[in-house]
């Protein structure tokens, strides 16, 4: 999957243009030393690399706008970058393009505890927001596992979420407004003070658009009250199917947990080796169920959850008795990806979603596919919303095994789509899954998304080559090009 790493020839950035960027953002905000540029050549998906021609680090909306205007005037493609933790190559630079890094934009513009909201620049980290909000008993609900480092700008671009999405929703449900620098350098506000904004919801389109519609330079987030009570349990099962049944049981009982996470045997093994969080190595699957809310309600739901795990063949239930013990369970879960290194030299992290009711059959099928491929697949995932993260384990020292593992990872995500789900629940499409978009959407669906993109970015300079399948990434599109009848009639066009 790795793409060649040609040394970018910054032919687009003349000395004169570089000087203009310096005028826009200051000398200290422009990076052009080749060695320093390499820091920006990839994001968390390190298989794809491309050295940018230039990196600029603006400090204000106006500086972002000035940099983008220069790009627009000179036809230079640009890519926004937050912390670079993205796992789909969304912040991968474009050859001969620039990276606009938002890491210096970390100001808090305003905290408004009375109205339960906060406005920050995009480089503030996800958990940084909650830290700032905590003196008021408030927090920012979206909780990607990368929350200590990833930026809220990146969260907006990826519509990030974490274990607590099931009850609390995604970034999209918690962003009230943004300031957007559009690809021609204009500054505009989407959403804002009013709960109901009038007219088509452009904000809803920008959230999750993976940096392809403009650069977000201010974000107003909704803050929530910390729940009064939190109760957590870990239930062990003899099979992933039993664990899946328990999850269905919870849903049928009308309980909406704050989080339901599942680990299979391999994942438990890796977590235990890495963290000693106390998961039972004898179990074939473990569920972490967390409930929160008003104390009486939380207690009632917790009893129901415990009962349902028992009646769905749980072989053991552990209820942490201290905050520390509960934190260790979550630490175990959140470090699961990193822990895989303990049981396999290499692995791919996949991210697909299936309807929750198909958990049992799909997991069985994944196990079968792994057997057929002669590879191991560990599963650790958000069971409540069907967001799977199969980890395909392999050993790169064995010739051909990486390719084999990658094929399996792709087959798994396509299984998710054919089961009625999605190719991504949280990592995004980026450069990584652009080709798989054709598995999920028809050419017409993609063409209409492209029309929306063209409305924002007619010249295609804002993070090009991401999200949409391109011949470069996917080989030629299947089938001959067939113009729409209205295209032939000159009524509509494709850009």
Partner 1 sequence: MSDTAQTEQIAPHDLDDASRALGEGQATGRTVLFSGADTKSQWGGVVDPTDLRISTDGLNDLISHQPGDMTAVVGAGMPLRTLQTSLAEQGQWLALDPATEQAGATIGGLLATGDAGPRRLRYGTMRDLAIGATIVLADGTIVHSGSHVIKNVAGYDLTKLFHGSLGSLGLIAEVILRLHPLPATSSTLRATATVSEATIAASALSRSGVEPTAIEWSQPGTGDGSGTLLVRIDGSASGTSAGSSRLAKVLSDQGLSAHLLDPDVADRHWATFAEATRGSTEETVVRAGALPDRSPQAIQALRTLADEHGVQAAVASSIALGLHTAVLSGSADAQMEVADQWRRRVETLGGSCSLRNRPAVVADQLSAFGTPPSSAPLLRAVKHKLDPYERCAPGRFRGWY
Residues that bind ligand FAD (CB under 6 A): 43-44, 79-87, 90-91, 102, 122, 144-146, 150-151, 153-155, 157-158, 160-162, 210-211, 215-216, 337, 426-427, 463
Residue 377, both tokens = 């697949």
**What DSSP string runs through 16-80?**
HHHHHHHHHH-GGGEE--HHHHGGGS--S-TT-----SEEE---SHHHHHHHHHHHHHHT--EEE
438 binds, among partner 1, ligand FAD, none (CB under 5 to 8 A by kind): none
Distance from C-alpha of 424 to C-alpha of 318, rounded to nearest angstrom: 32
Q: Which two tokens stand for residue 397?
A: 């020292």
CB of 68 to partner 1, least distance (A): 15
CB 220, min distance to partner 1, A: 11
Q: Return the number of other C-beta atoms located less than 10 Å from residue 182's C-beta.
A: 19
**Which of 370, 445, 246, 493 is CA-nearest to residue 437?**
445
- Between 16 and 195, CB nearer to ligand FAD: 195
Return the number of the residue (339 or 354) whose C-beta is nearest partner 1. 354
Task: State the nearest-atom distance from the C-beta of 463 to partner 1, in Å.
Answer: 13
The structure tokens listed for 284 are 């074939």
Picked from partner 1, ligand FAD, none, the partner binding residue 385 (CB below 5 to 8 A depending on kind) is: partner 1
Identity of the residue, 327 or 486, whose beta carbon is nearer to partner 1 in the bound complex: 486
> Which of residues 71 and 207 has its CB atom nearest to partner 1 in the complex?
207
Residues 6+ apart with CB under 8 A from 50: 3, 5, 6, 8, 41, 42, 92, 93, 94, 95
Token pair listed for 220:
């107003």
Looking at the Cβ atoms of 88 and 312, the one nearer to ligand FAD is 88
**CA distance readout (Å), 448 to 190, 443, 468, 488, 493:** 21, 9, 11, 17, 11
Nearest approach in angstroms of CB 271 to ligand FAD is 14
Least Cβ distance, residue 40 to partner 1 (angstroms):
24
Considering CB distances under 5 to 8 angstroms, the limit depending on partner class, which of ligand FAD, partner 1, none binds residue 79?
A: ligand FAD
- Pick one of partner 1, ligand FAD, none as the site partner of residue 82 (Cβ within 5 to 8 A by kind): ligand FAD
The residue among 256 and 474 lying less far from partner 1, judged by its C-beta, is 256
CA distance 259 to 383: 8
CB of 197 to partner 1, least distance (A): 7
Q: What residue 65 binds from partner 1, ligand FAD, none (CB within 5 to 8 A, per partner kind)?
A: none
């Amino acid at each position: 999957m790795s793409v060649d790493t040609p040394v970018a020839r910054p032919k687009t950035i003349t000395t004169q243009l570089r000087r203009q960027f310096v005028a826009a953002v200051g000398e200290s905000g422009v990076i052009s030393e080749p060695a320093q540029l390499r820091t920006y050549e990839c994001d968390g998906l390190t298989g794809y690399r491309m050295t940018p021609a230039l990196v600029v680090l603006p400090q204000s909306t106006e500086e972002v706008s000035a940099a983008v205007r220069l790009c627009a005037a000179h036809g230079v493609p640009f890519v926004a970058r937050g912390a670079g933790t993205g796992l789909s190559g969304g912040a991968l630079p474009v050859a001969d393009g620039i990276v606009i890094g938002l890491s210096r934009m970390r100001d808090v513009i305003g905290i408004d505890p009375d109205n339960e909201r906060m406005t920050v620049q995009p480089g503030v980290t996800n958990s940084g927001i909650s830290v700032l909000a905590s003196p008021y008993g408030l927090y920012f609900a979206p909780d990607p596992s990368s929350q200590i480092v990833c930026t809220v700008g990146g969260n907006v671009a990826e519509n990030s979420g974490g274990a607590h999405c099931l009850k609390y929703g995604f970034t999209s449900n918690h962003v009230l407004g943004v300031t957007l620098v559009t690809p021609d350098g204009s500054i505009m506000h989407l959403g804002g003070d009013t709960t109901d904004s009038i007219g088509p919801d452009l904000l809803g389109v920008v959230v999750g658009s993976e940096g392809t519609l403009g650069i977000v330079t201010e974000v107003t987030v909704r803050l929530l009250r910390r729940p009064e009570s939190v109760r957590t349990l870990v239930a062990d099962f003899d099979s992933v199917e039993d664990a899946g049944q328990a999850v269905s049981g919870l849903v049928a009982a009308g309980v909406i947990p704050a989080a339901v996470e599942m680990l299979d045997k391999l994942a438990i093994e890796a977590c235990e080796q890495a963290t000693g969080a106390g998961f039972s190595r004898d179990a074939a699957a473990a569920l972490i169920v967390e409930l929160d809310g008003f104390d009486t309600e939380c207690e009632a739901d917790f009893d129901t959850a415990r009962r349902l795990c028992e009646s769905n063949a749980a072989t053991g239930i552990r209820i942490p008795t201290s905050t520390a013990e509960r934190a260790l369970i979550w630490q175990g879960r959140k470090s699961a990806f990193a822990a895989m290194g303990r049981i396999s030299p290499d692995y791919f992290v996949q991210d697909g979603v299936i309807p929750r009711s198909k958990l049992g059959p799909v997991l069985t099928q994944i196990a079968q596919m792994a057997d057929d491929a002669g590879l191991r697949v560990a599963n650790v995932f958000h069971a409540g919303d069907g967001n799977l993260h199969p980890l395909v384990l392999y050993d790169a020292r064995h010739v051909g095994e990486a390719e084999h593992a990658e094929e399996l990872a792709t087959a798994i995500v396509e299984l998710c789509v054919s089961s009625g789900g999605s190719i991504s629940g949280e990592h995004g499409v980026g450069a990584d899954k652009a080709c798989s978009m054709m598995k999920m959407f028809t050419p017409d669906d993609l063409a209409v998304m492209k029309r929306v993109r063209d409305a924002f970015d007619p010249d295609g300079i804002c993070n090009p080559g991401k999200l949409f399948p391109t011949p470069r990434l996917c080989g030629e599109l299947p089938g001959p090009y067939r113009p729409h009848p209205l295209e032939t009639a000159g009524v509509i066009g494709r850009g």
